[in-house]
Chain A
Amino acid sequence: MSAASTNRETKNTFRLLAPGVVWMILFLVAPIMMIVYVSFWTQTTFSINSTLTLDSWRNFFASEAYVGALWTTIRLWLIVLTLTFVIGYPAALYVGLLVKSKTVSTVLLVLCVIPFWTSFLIRVLAWRPMLGKEGAINIILQKFGLIDTPIEVLLFSELSVIIGMTQIYVVFMVGPIAFMLGRIDRNIIEAARDLGAGFGRIFWKIIFPLSLPGVVVGAIFVSVMVLGEFATSGALSGRKVNLLGNIIVTQVGSLKWAMASVVGVILTILLGIVVAGFLRIVDLKREI
């Protein structure tokens, strides 16, 4: 290749990359730098100025409520992640592998997505008449005489937040896993059977490893959304459950930009660690 054509190719590469790079700098890199910067600003009750200080950071780690919210966020994230996996994997296994017809499996996947045609808020709030003290579940259980007094812990508790989040996010686990399972060549499952492996062995040695990239993608989707959540906990916990997202909302509401930035930075770091951790499990580049 001549020097001139190499030069032209490099030029073309830059031209093609430029719009994306500009966009990312303007709307991703710059805002993140800004948040990090603001988190070190000095906050007084009614105003904020750019004198650098560690006060907001100290306040965050000194406050039991804030650090507690960090742990609550991590705990709820782990619980919801586990539940979406435990509920989502068998569903994906059915849709992606056990259903033989491609049409049926597409129809089933679309059925999983249909709830998303209603707004997020309605989906969350719909849990209230379901879980409430005089909600559907309590009424049914009482009608059948299984309980005498309504179960109060169903709504406005951590449980209701977990139920709500799991229902909303489980589909993000089902989709990628079902996709990966659908790509598995049926012949290799038959080959494993022919070599004497029973279903359990085939699942653990062939099917599960081959679906792992789907699990990782699903887990990243769920993690990113759950860690940044504030609406579900706001609507279903009765303000009893405070996540990092809820703190950001209240801090911004009372114009405490510096503290909101601190929480934002912590959340971003947490997300970075989680996503990087998941990507270590599989080499996604090989799958694409």
Chain B
Amino acid sequence: MTQSDPIFRLEGVTRRYGNLTALEGIDFVAEDNSYIALLGPSGSGKTSLLRVIAGFETPDEGRIWFQGRDITDVPAHERGIGFVFQNFALFPHLTVFENIAFGLRNGATKVSDAEITDRVRESIDMVGLSGLEDRNPDQISGGQKQRVALARTLVMQPKLVLLDEPLGALDANLRERMQMELRAIRERLDVTFLHVTGSETEALAMGDRVAVLDAGRIVQYGTPDAIYDSPSISDVALFLNRFNLFEGTLKNGIFEGAFGAVPVASARTNETDVYAIRYDRTQIFDTDSSYLPGPALPVRYLASEYLGSSIIFLFETADHKTVEVDHHLSLGEPRDLIVGKNYILSWDPAQAIVFGKEITR
């Protein structure tokens, strides 16, 4: 099977709860055998979208296609789509083994006991739970529960697995390990993972492709670097949490903001005029510096945050907006800054991304 065959397709999927529209005419095509991260802030409708695909909820409008078949009216238990719940949702009265065997024992197709034992053992080995078969869910740790939930879904050999913030309930160390394991497990199994997350780092790190959901619409879908390098609208840049965003006005190819008027080579269509520059492309200068690579933004230094491989410097503009500068320590020692003192931030205007109502070429 080639990478480009769609595993599932959404056509104008809309879901409303009373007056609230959770999903608004979503069109989406997902490639087979890939890891897709679905990024969205809370309330963007990402869990609703997952529940609609799984069949726990029916869309008010639109169709859902899975492996070339219209499954909009197929009940959840006949869809053959795996779902991993954020709270794991293990069966509390069954052992780890029986939790994983549940689908094989109780599904529509009869599976022999010998095959059940083989397949469950295989999944247990795959997720590294050997020796815990006879424990109850309340006798294992959070990370182990996560593995049981995953094994329980994967043992059914689904072609599509939906993961609802699967790492949300784990602590930071475990989260990083599970990120790598999830990717490794998926690659071995020829299956598509649709991983919902509110964390931009998780989405960029894990997805072969990332879909960004905002207010019930998919606003951008592409590879992590495409999204990182060229967010389609200013809201995407905002979720990525890597850009300083400045409001202003774009007129006749000139953007006017807190840093003065800057000529703009190109701008992307957006509902408001926004000027974006990445944290790590923003540079710090003294107020009397004779050389600046581009626009000059007067700021006051607030604090710094040490992250190991880099330092985040926090500044405040005259209108009390916080601006961040990310200095990679591989680029040399950071300069000493004095808290409360004024500095100038500047950047290469070619590296800025401008969004505007007016499109400039």
- Chain A residues with CB under 8 Å of chain B are 185, 187-188, 190-198, 201-202, 205-206, 209-210
Chain B positions within 8 Å of A201 at CB level: 106
For B103, the closest partner residue in chain A by CB is A195
The number of A-B residue pairs with CB atoms under 8 Å apart is: 69
On whether the beta carbons of A190 and B56 are closer than 8 Å, the reply is: yes
The answer to whether residues A210 and B78 also contact, given A187-B87, A191-B83, A195-B106 and a CB cut-off of 8 A, is: no
In whole angstroms, what is the CA distance A206 to B153 when docked? 17
Tell me whether chain B's interface is mostly helix, strand or loop, or mixed: loop
Q: Does B156 reach chain A (CB closer than 8 Å)?
A: yes
Chain A positions within 8 Å of B153 at CB level: 194-195
Chain B positions within 8 Å of A190 at CB level: 54, 56, 76, 83, 85, 89
**Other-chain contact of A194, B54, B87, B90, B108 (Cβ < 8 Å):** B54
In whole angstroms, what is the CA distance A209 to B149 when docked? 20
On whether the beta carbons of A194 and B77 are closer than 8 Å, the reply is: yes
Chain A positions within 8 Å of B76 at CB level: 190, 193-194
Chain B positions within 8 Å of A194 at CB level: 54, 56, 76-77, 81-83, 153
On whether the beta carbons of B89 and A197 are closer than 8 Å, the reply is: no
When each residue 130-161 of chain B gets 1 if its CB lies under 8 Å from chain A and 0 otherwise, what string results?
00000000000000000001001100100000
In whole angstroms, what is the CA distance A196 to B106 when docked? 7
Chain A positions within 8 Å of B91 at CB level: 188, 191-192, 206
Chain B positions within 8 Å of A192 at CB level: 91, 102, 106
On whether the beta carbons of A191 and B80 are closer than 8 Å, the reply is: no
Chain B positions within 8 Å of A210 at CB level: 92-93
- 28 A-B residue pairs with Cβ-Cβ distance under 8 Å, sorted by A, are A187-B89, A188-B89, A188-B90, A188-B92, A190-B54, A190-B85, A190-B89, A191-B90, A191-B91, A191-B152, A192-B106, A194-B54, A194-B56, A194-B76, A194-B77, A194-B81, A194-B83, A195-B77, A195-B103, A195-B107, A195-B152, A195-B156, A196-B80, A196-B103, A196-B106, A197-B103, A198-B77, A209-B93
**Other-chain contact of B102, A185, A187, A195 (Cβ < 8 Å):** A195
For B56, the closest partner residue in chain A by CB is A190
When each residue 101-137 of chain B gets 1 if its CB lies under 8 Å from chain A and 0 otherwise, what string results?
0110011100000000000000000000000000000
In whole angstroms, what is the CA distance A152 to B111 when docked? 56
Chain B positions within 8 Å of A198 at CB level: 77, 108
A190 to chain B, nearest CB (A): 5
The answer to whether residues A197 and B106 also contact, given A187-B87, A190-B83 and a CB cut-off of 8 A, is: yes
